[in-house]
Amino acid sequence: MYPQQDRYGTHNPASAAVFDEGLRKHMLRIYNYMGLGLVVTGLVAFIVGTTPALYVPIFSTPLKWVVMLAPLAFVFFFSFKMHSMSASAAQMTFWAFCAVMGLSLASVFLVFTGASIARTFFIAATMFGATSLYGYVTKRDLAKFGSFMIMGLIGVMIASIVNIFLASSALQFAVSVIGIVVFVGLTAWDTQNIKEQYADNYDQESQQKLAVFGALSLYLNFVNIFQLLLNFTGQREE
């Protein structure tokens, strides 16, 4: 399962060391992209969510639906264009996506207190960090586990759509609990996949694209964990 065991059958220490160093740099680049993406999202969400001149024209009009659905459109765009996009285009699209996600998340500052948002962020960061580390270091193949999580994700999405019409608090609670489990599991699985996709014979352009799309996967997991946790740890504004 560990890449250099397949590529370096003789277990050449020098070759393995070079591979490990390249992998560490690759993973660090991914986490840096993800972290900067969260900073962009947080800044946009805070500025818009605390500025009446910005949030009133958005969230008090039908424009709010455009803002809420825009991140989903970006995800579909990434999915269809990921193979044909250049590394620079992928990077620019990623930053634009993070900004749009921040616009969408600005509403949390209208609903929850700043202290509870910060608390939830740190809880989400702890959960994400622990499971991503597990996905990176474990020797266990998480492929079957990941497939199960994908099925769970589909179920969560369907239940969330249904609950838009039912407005059931019990169903919302169940969706939140299951959703957190699903995205925590996907974090470990995605991390392992990102690690295994790395190859030191990729050219710089390919490695850059892998880093951007890897960061996107982990970013989406973190944001969803954060949003779902807010249902439990978020304190609403009075």
Q: Which of 21, 28, 22 is nearest to 218 (CA)?
A: 28
Domain ranges of the chain: 3-233
**Looking at residue 12, what is its pLDDT?**
60
**Looking at residue 199, what is its pLDDT?**
74
Q: Which two structure tokens, joined as six digits, stand for 128?
A: 């994400």
**Looking at residue 201, what is its pLDDT?**
65
**Looking at residue 10, what is its pLDDT?**
42
Beta-bridge mates of residue 112:
236
CB 97 within 8 A of CB 216: yes
The residues of the chain scoring below 50 in pLDDT are 1-10
**Looking at residue 14, what is its pLDDT?**
60
CB 57 within 8 A of CB 41: no
Q: Could you report the per-residue pLDDT of 135-191, keeping only the tens digit for each?
A: 999 999 898 888 888 888 898 888 888 887 887 888 888 889 999 999 999 999 999
**Looking at residue 3, what is its pLDDT?**
44
**Looking at residue 4, what is its pLDDT?**
43
CA atoms within 13 A on the CB side of 135: 26
Place of tokens 């989903």: 72
pTM of the predicted model, to two decimals?
0.88
Beta-carbon contacts of residue 120 (< 8 Å; ≥ 6 apart):
112, 226, 229, 230, 233, 234
